[in-house]
Amino acid sequence: MKQEQKIRPLAIYQLLKNHTDSSVALGSFEIANTLNLEGLPSSIKDVKDDIKLLKDWGFGVSEIPGEDLYYISTKVFSDAELRILIDAVEASSFLTEKKTKELVLKLSRLAGEHRAESFRKNSTFKSTKHTNESIFNAVATIDQCIRSEKKCSFLYFDYDIEGARLYRKERKRYVVNPLALVAREDNYYLIAYGDKYDNIISYRVDRMDKVMPESDGIRKGDFLKDFDLDSYTKQAFSMFKGELTEVSLECDISAVDGIVDKFSESVNMLKLNDTKFRVKVFVQVSPIFFGWCAASGGRIKITAPEEVKKAYYEHLSKC
């Protein structure tokens, strides 16, 4: 068998995969002409024989009945699903501009070449982007540590007024037990267990540097037996650690959507009258939680416990 006879079926499949779908098909003459221009000698008969071979082997090639037209309609994602994925990538501030463009390009190609361009043209950054290009390496290392149940270590930094990195702990490495990676509030976080204080800590992945796996295995405190990651992330506001407390909120009816968005549709809301309702929720009390309440413009009020009310008023007095 000549070399081109071995390659041609794969070339035809790739051509159909990149340039066709249920709305766009190619004829055997067009396919043969394209292959010839690419230096792969092909006749219309060759193309039809190879397409039959692809169909027999289950490669998903479809034919328009009564016409010499072929296409591949099998798509991993629908256009709507791809649009959602691309929008999510563009909205993720923890991704750099470079990595955002790379991911958008890869995702758009899943739509096929003739539709990929429309996805790219409609692509715009929907958030401020970070500049830490090592975030993907950090995520890969952390993910491997989680799966292999090994500790990981890293340097952690903030920024000064000039945008330079200020490393915490005098550049000494943090060593933690990684539990999960969570995307929340436009950032990516590592949820970890700290040996020293037997507590759960969250770290922004874009603020990590030189992430490395450790040889020691993960150690889990006894309280982690009942740890629920989903509950933890719902109770935390922007992943800022605070004391977990049951808080009673009195809200205007107009705040229902905000309560549901934050605490899910299953939250128990007790109607007080035609304009008010009460809800009890577990939250991590922190300045971020107080800021969320204040942003409601008085529609959400803390009514209990008394110490949280007092802390809230003290927070407002400093604003």
What does each of the 319 residues of the chain score in pLDDT, given as a tens digit? 466 677 899 999 988 888 887 778 999 999 999 999 988 889 999 999 999 999 888 888 889 988 999 988 766 677 778 877 887 887 777 778 888 888 888 887 777 666 666 666 555 555 556 666 788 889 999 999 999 999 999 999 988 767 788 999 999 999 999 998 888 766 788 999 888 877 888 898 988 999 999 999 988 777 677 777 777 776 664 545 667 789 999 999 999 988 887 887 778 899 999 999 999 998 888 888 898 899 999 999 999 999 999 999 998 888 7
Per-position DSSP letters for 228-252, written without gaps between them: -HHHHHHHSBTTB--EEEEEEEEEE
What is the amino acid identity at position 135? Answer: I
Q: Give the SS3 label for residue 123.
A: coil
Q: Give the SS3 label for residue 227.
A: coil
CB 182 within 8 A of CB 230: no
Per-position DSSP letters for 155-194, written without gaps between them: EEEEE-TTS-EEEGGGGPPEEEEEEEEEEETTEEEEEEEE
How high is the pLDDT of residue 129? Answer: 63
How high is the pLDDT of residue 287? Answer: 87
Domains present along the chain, CATH in parentheses: 3-72 (1.10.10.10), 79-121 (no CATH), 135-223 (2.30.30), 243-317 (3.30.70)
Per-position DSSP letters for 16-74, written without gaps between them: HHHH-BTTB-EEHHHHHHHHHHTT----HHHHHHHHHHHHHTT--EEE-TTSSEEEE--
pTM assigned to the model = 0.57
Can you tell me the distance from the alpha carbon of 315 to that of 45, in angstroms, rounded to the nearest whole number? 79
Q: What are the Cα distances from residue 268, in Å, to 66, 205, 236, 253, 300?
A: 60, 34, 18, 14, 15
Can you tell me the distance from the alpha carbon of 94 to that of 105, in angstroms, rounded to the nearest whole number? 18
Q: Give the SS3 label for residue 216.
A: strand
